[in-house]
Amino acid sequence: MESHVLDTSLRWIVLVPLLGAALNGLLLRRMPRRAAGLLACAAVGAAFLLSVAAVVRLAGLEPHHRLLADSLGTWLDVAGVRVELGFAMDQLSAVMALVVTGVGFLIHVYSLGYMAHDPGYNRFFTYLNLFIFAMMMLVLGENLVMLFVGWEGVGLCSYLLISFWFNEEANAAAGKKAFIVNRIGDFGFLLGMFVLGAALLPHLGGGEGVFSFRTIAAHTHELVPWATAIGLLLFLGAAGKSAQIPLYVWLPDAMAGPTPVSALIHAATMVTAGVYMIARMNMVYVLSPAAMTVVAVVGAVTALFAATIALTQNDIKKVLAYSTVSQLGYMMLACGVGAFAAGIFHVMTHAFFKALLFLGAGSVIHAMGGEQDLRLMGGLRRKLPVTWPTFLIGTVALAGVFPFAGFFSKDEILWKAFSEGNPGLWLVGFLGAGLTAFYMMRLVVLTFFGDNRASEEVRHHVHESPATMTAPLAILAALSVVGGWLGWPHFLGGANRFEQWLAPVFAAGAGGHGASAHDAVTHAAASTEWLLAAASLSLALLGLYAGYRAYAGRATLAGKLHAFAGGRPHRVLLNKYYVDEGYEASLVRPGYALSDRVLFRAVDTGLIDGLLVNGSALLVSITSALLRLFQNGKLRFYAYVFALGAAAFVLYLALTT
pLDDT tops 70 at residue 485? yes
In angstroms, rounded to a whole number, what is the distance separating the alpha carbons of residues 583 and 51?
A: 42
In eight-state DSSP terms, residue 464 is P
Predicted confidence at residue 1, as pLDDT, reads 42
> By mean pLDDT, which of 55-59, 158-162, 549-553 is the weakest?
549-553
Q: Report yes or no: 386 and 314 within 8 Å, Cβ to Cβ.
A: no
> Do you find a cis peptide bond into 258, omega within 30 degrees of 0?
no
Q: Is the pLDDT of residue 486 over 90?
A: yes
Average pLDDT over residues 611-633: 85
611 or 392: which leads in pLDDT:
392
- The contacts of residue 503 (CB under 8 Å, 6+ apart) are 63, 341, 510, 516
Sheet holding 207-208, edge to edge: 5-6, 68-78, 81-89, 207-208
- Find the distance separating the first CA and the last CA of the chain, reported in whole Å: 92
Q: Give the tens place of pLDDT for each residue, 175-199.
A: 999 999 999 999 999 999 999 999 9
- pLDDT tens figures, 47-76: 999 999 999 999 999 988 899 999 988 888
The answer to which of 135-149, 269-283, 305-319, 564-578 has the lowest mean pLDDT is 564-578
User: Residue 353's pLDDT is what?
Assistant: 95
- In eight-state DSSP terms, residue 6 is E
- Spell out where 128-194 has E strands: none
Neighbours of 570 (CB within 10 A): 16
Average pLDDT over residues 139-143: 94
Give me the amino acid identity at 249. Answer: V
What is the reported pLDDT for 267? 72
pLDDT (average), residues 629-644: 85
Whether 407 and 537 have beta carbons less than 8 Å apart is answered as yes
Model pLDDT, residue 564: 53
pLDDT in tens, 78-92: 777 888 899 999 999
Over range 450-456, report the average pLDDT: 85
Based on its alpha-carbon atoms, the radius of gyration of the chain, rounded to whole angstroms, reads 30
- Band of residue 173 on the pLDDT scale cut at 50, 70, 90: very high
Q: Is the dihedral of CA 290, 292, 294, 297 positive or negative?
A: negative
Q: 560: pLDDT confidence band, cut at 50, 70 and 90? A: low
- Round to whole Å and give the CA distance between 438 and 452: 21
Instruction: Write the DSSP string, 193-212.
Output: HHHHHHHHGGGTTSEETTTB
Question: Cβ–Cβ contacts within 10 Å for residue 579, how many?
Answer: 15
pLDDT bracket for residue 569 (50, 70, 90): confident
Distance CA(294)–CA(329), nearest Å, equals 12
Q: Are 178 and 162 in contact (CB under 8 A)?
A: yes
CA-to-CA distance for 29 and 422, rounded, in angstroms?
A: 57
| pLDDT of the residue at 207 | 58
Which pLDDT value is given to residue 633? 81
* Core vs surface per residue 47-84: b (16+ CB within 10 A) or e: bbebbeebbeebeeeeeeebbbbbbeeeeeeeeebbbb
pLDDT confidence band for 544 (50 / 70 / 90):
very high
| pLDDT band per the 50, 70, 90 thresholds, residue 524 | very low
What is the DSSP secondary structure assignment for residue 597, as one 8-state letter? I
Cα separation of 604 and 611, whole Å? 10
* β-strands 5-6, 207-208 pairing: unpaired
Q: Are 307 and 248 in contact (CB under 8 A)?
A: no
Question: How far apart, in whole angstroms, are the C-alpha atoms of residue 548 and residue 438?
Answer: 8
Tell me how far apart the alpha carbons of residues 301 and 318 are, in angstroms, rounded to a whole number: 19
- Residue 563: what pLDDT? 58
Average pLDDT over residues 437-465: 89
* Mean pLDDT to the nearest integer, 552-562: 61
How far is residue 258's CA from residue 128's CA, in Å, rounded to a whole number? 11
Confidence check: pLDDT of 509 > 80: no
Any idea how long the chain is? 657
> Burial code of 398-431, b = ≥16 C-beta within 10 A, e = fewer?
bbbbbebbbbbbbbbbbbbbbbbebeebbebbbb
- Average of per-residue pLDDT values in the chain: 89
Binned at pLDDT 50, 70 and 90, residue 515 comes out as very low
3-state secondary structure of 165: coil
Residue 611 pLDDT grade (very low, low, confident, very high; cuts 50, 70, 90):
confident
Residue 77: pLDDT over 50: yes
Q: With contact defined as beta carbons under 8 Å apart, do 333 and 296 qualify?
A: yes
Query: Which carries the bigger pLDDT value, residue 327 or residue 624?
Result: 327
User: Domain locations in the chain?
Assistant: 1-287, 336-570, 577-656
Quick one: pLDDT at residue 450?
86
Buried b (16+ CB within 10 A) or exposed e, 321-330: bbbbbbbbbb
Q: Which residues pair with 141 in a beta bridge?
A: 87
Q: What is the pLDDT of residue 511?
A: 39
Range 263-275 average pLDDT = 86
Instruction: With beta carbons less than 8 A apart as the criterion, state whether 286 and 420 touch.
Output: no
Instruction: List pLDDT tens digits, range 408-427.
Output: 999 999 999 998 888 999 99
CA angle 524, 525, 526 (to 5 degrees): 110
pTM of the model: 0.90
- Bridge partners of 83, per DSSP, are 76
Please name the amino acid found at residue 1.
M
CA 302 to CA 426: how far, in whole Å? 13
The residues, ordered by sequence, that sit 6+ positions from 93 with a Cβ below 8 Å of its Cβ are: 139, 140
Q: What are phi and psi of 6, to 5 degrees?
A: -70, 135
Say yes or no to pLDDT of 612 above 90: no
Contact between 347 and 276 (Cβ < 8 Å): yes
Are 272 and 347 contacting, i.e. CB atoms less than 8 angstroms apart? Answer: yes
Instruction: From residue 589, give the alpha-carbon distance in Å to each of 177, 583, 585.
Output: 14, 9, 6
DSSP run (H or E) holding 95: helix 91-114
Residue range 243-255: mean pLDDT, rounded: 93
Percent share of the chain, pLDDT over 70: 94
The string of pLDDT tens digits covering residues 92-129 is 999 999 999 999 999 999 999 999 889 999 999 999 99
Which residues are CB-contacts of 375 (< 8 A; sequence separation ≥ 6)? 314, 446, 453
Burial class (CB in 10 A: 0-12, 13-18, 19+), 197: middle
Cα of 580 vs its chain's centroid, Å: 19
pLDDT-based confidence at residue 508 (cuts at 50, 70, 90): low
